[in-house]
A and B are shown apart, each in its own frame.
Chain A
Amino acid sequence: MSEPVLQVKDLSRHFGGLIAVNQLNFAVMPGAIHGLIGPNGAGKTTTFNLISGFYAPTSGQVIYQGRDVSGMKTAKLAEIGLIRTFQGTTLFKEFTVIDNVRVGCHSSARSGFIGRVLGTDREVEVHATAKAEELLEFFSLESMRDELAANLAHGHQRALGMAVALAADPKIILLDEPFTGMNPEETTRMMQLVRDVRQRGITVMLVEHDMQAIMGLCDTITVMNFGSLLAEGTPQEVRNNPQVIEAYLGSADHAA
């Protein structure tokens, strides 16, 4: 058994009197596609925000590659390979497609200030552009290279969002509802993309509502309800777990 790439230990986050995440524990294994599901308001997105450094935890720890990273800044986490994406189509919509991905190359395209002004950063930038182009090809976006991101179709925008994240060289990528608002055809394509991302040696963790997608895609699923861990296991186990069914559909007793 290898070490988990990401682990949360007794993670809690309170907003005033509201306990959004309560004593949560789970571990994500390297190379896995790990799903985090739960009914609305279960605390999934808060958990994501805690892991990715948008909030500091009230108590508990986030451990990434054996190192306590709780409360670390998002940018710092991104530098060490923990990258998140956002709900919906959060992109630099005013930029061209290629420039979106070039911004994503931020951490790998380092150069000094003087070099930037004098243009001696050329080699670094050529490299970054090549990398961005390779990623566009990977997501079949190369024909839209110079389009404005705002003009892309919804599915393409979502793929571009993943390309931006991938440009930052993640070891683990957190996808926040990657299938929202997609038609079945787009969902199928997106599922394949997520598998392709895993093929590149990147661990994937995702929050999702689309049960069909998540059951077909994940190796392990963590189910949350009211901020706490409800169940964990393979899709098969989770599907047949009576507690999970109750959380989503209400128990048989309550059914009128």
Chain B
Amino acid sequence: MPRAKANIWSWLLGFCLLVGLLVLPQVLSYSQREIAVLLIINVLLVSSYRLMTLTGEWSLGHVVIMGVGAYASALFSKRLGIPVPISMLLGAASAGGVAAILSFPLFRMKGFYFLIGSFAAGEVIRLIWKYFTYPFGGPKGLKLIPGFPDIGSISFFEPEIYYYLCLFVVAVSLFVLYRIERSRIGLTFHAIHWQDKLAESVGVDTFRYRMLAFVLASFFAGLSGALYAHYIGTINPTRFDVEEMVFVLIWAIVGGTVTFYGPIIGVVVLTVMNEVILRSLGFDTARPMIYGGILIVSVLFLPDGLESLIPKVKGWFSGRVKKTGEVLEPEKSP
């Protein structure tokens, strides 16, 4: 009964992962905990980005959209005095709203044109932040953003505690993203990616679904931005510039975007590599160069991303690899 066995293994793996994530802050140093918090926020960012790519459109504005969530949430709490948890949700909703408006000009384009269009739209938003000192704080951005309120004696100012908050929010978000993809909505996104004309011919309103993907992805990107803003306490336009976007792209490409877990593997592996290996060697200022190198190497030697290694690893564990090296249980496409 290979299926039942595989099931036990995946439950076991999931359980180990959960326990690992829960004890992780206890074994890390203070600064490592801070990095862990940012890593979890980035997991949500890159996973939301993948939802967007399901319809086949790659955006260069995703980090700016994250910034919209961060700015909106910061402004709601700082200037209007709305409680932080609510302003976080409002910030995420604002990011979704901005995406809904941007859909109208952007989805007149496809492919490369969409990529450039999304970049331009993102720069416009960033320039608005830079130009208007009120309410956006201009080039210096916003400071003294209120943190997450204490609950009793639990202070979310501590990275350790904030880590658990992020873990909870991101876990719920990932669950929702996963459910979306596994439902008919996800099927329709994929269908639009592969054959948009055929999808239209059976009644799929492709514009509406592209917009839906963009708005949902932006909502969760905005949520990650809000988590970021209330943790760091200060944001500025440079934090959400195209360099950050390139990192998101590299995480997604190196991890692979075919599977749900691909981009997550990408961001985790590259962040751990960056923080543990590069920092210990004193190389961390060369991050852009090294990331570029990794991107080229992975495109050349691992074109399907790190995720393509998972079925092989699974095969080794269950000893069910054919002599040709082909895995018996091919991954369900797409």
Interface contacts (Cβ under 8 Å), in number, total 92
Chain A hits for B197, CB < 8 A: 54, 74, 86, 90
Residue pair A103, B199 in contact (C-beta under 8 Å)? yes
Answer yes or no: B19 CB below 8 A from chain A CBs. no
Query: Roughly how many angstroms separate A83 CA and B199 CA in the complex, as a whole number?
Result: 11
A47-103 interface (Cβ within 8 A of B): 52, 54, 73-76, 78-79, 83-86, 90-96, 99, 102-103
The answer on a CB contact under 8 Å between B191 and A119 is no
Taking CB atoms, residues of chain A closer than 8 Å to B11 are none
Q: Which residues of B contact A99 (CB under 8 A)?
A: 187
Beta-carbon contact of A116 and B194 below 8 Å: no
Q: Report B156-213 residues with CB < 8 Å from chain A CB.
A: 176, 179-180, 183-185, 187-188, 190-191, 194-195, 197-206
A78-B202, A93-B194 given as contacts; is B188 within 8 A of A119 (CB)? no
Which of A74, A84, A128 is the most central at the interface, judged by chain B CB atoms within 10 Å of its CB? A74
Q: B201 contacts which chain A residues (CB < 8 A)? A: 52, 74, 78, 83-86, 165, 168
In the complex, whether B334 has a CB less than 8 A from a CB of chain A is yes
Contact (Cβ within 8 A) A148 B333: yes
Taking a contact as CB atoms under 8 Å apart, the answer to whether A121 and B183 are in contact is yes
Question: Bound state CA distance, A94 and B195, in angstroms?
Answer: 10
A164 part of interface (Cβ distance < 8 Å): yes
- Is there a chain B Cβ closer than 8 Å to A15's Cβ? no
Q: Is the CB of A78 within 8 A of B187?
A: no
Q: Which residues of chain A come closer than 8 Å to B198, judged between CB atoms? A: 86, 90-92, 164
Residue count of chain A within 8 Å CB distance of chain B? 40
B203 CB contacts on chain A under 8 angstroms: 75, 78-79, 106-107, 168
Interface contact B202-A104, CB-CB below 8 Å: yes
Q: Which residue of chain A has the shortest Cβ distance to B186 in the bound complex?
A: A116
The main secondary structure of chain B at its interface with chain A is helix
Q: How large is the interface on B (under 10, 10 to 19, 20 to 34, 35 or more residues)?
A: 20 to 34
Return B134 CB to nearest CB of chain A, in Å.
Answer: 36
CB distance from B46 to the nearest CB of A (A): 20
| Nearest CB of B to A178, in Å | 14
B176: A residues at CB distance < 8 A: 117
A113 contacts which chain B residues (CB < 8 A)?
185
Contact assessment for A119 and B179 in the assembled complex, using a CB-CB cutoff below 8 Å: yes
A125 touches B184 (CB 8 A): yes
Report whether A75 and B205 are in contact in the complex, using a CB–CB cutoff of 8 Å. Answer: yes
How many angstroms between the C-alpha atoms of A236 and B203 in the bound complex?
37
List residues of chain B with CB within 8 A of the CB of A79.
Answer: 203
Q: How far is the CA of A113 from the CA of B190 in the complex (A)?
A: 17
Contact of A111 with B by CB under 8 A: yes
Docked-complex contact B200 and A95, CB < 8 angstroms: no
Decide yes or no whether A109 CB sits under 8 A from chain B: yes
Contact A164/B202 with A90-B197, A94-B194, A95-B190 known, Cβ cut-off 8 Å: yes
Do A103 and B202 have beta carbons less than 8 Å apart? yes
A107 to B203, CA, bound (A): 6
- Residues 139-176 of A, flagged 1 when their CB comes within 8 A of B and 0 if not, give 00000000010000000000000001101100000000
Complex alpha-carbon distance, A96 and B187, angstroms = 11
> Given A95-B194, A103-B191, does the pair A116, B202 have CB atoms closer than 8 Å?
no
Q: Is the CB of A116 within 8 A of B204?
A: no
Which residues of chain B are within 8 angstroms of A78 by Cβ–Cβ distance?
Answer: 200-203
When C-beta atoms are compared, the residue in chain B nearest to A115 turns out to be: B183
Chain A min CB distance to B304 (Å): 14
Known: A73-B205, A116-B183. 7 other contacts (CB 8 A): A84-B201, A90-B195, A93-B194, A95-B190, A103-B199, A103-B202, A106-B199
The contact sample of 28 A-B pairs, CB cut-off 8 A, is A73-B205, A74-B197, A74-B200, A74-B201, A75-B205, A76-B205, A78-B202, A79-B203, A84-B201, A90-B195, A90-B197, A92-B190, A92-B195, A93-B194, A94-B190, A95-B191, A95-B333, A96-B333, A103-B188, A107-B202, A111-B184, A116-B180, A116-B184, A121-B184, A128-B184, A165-B201, A167-B202, A168-B202
4 A-B pairs with the lowest CB-CB distances in the bound complex, closest first: A78-B203, A116-B183, A107-B203, A168-B202
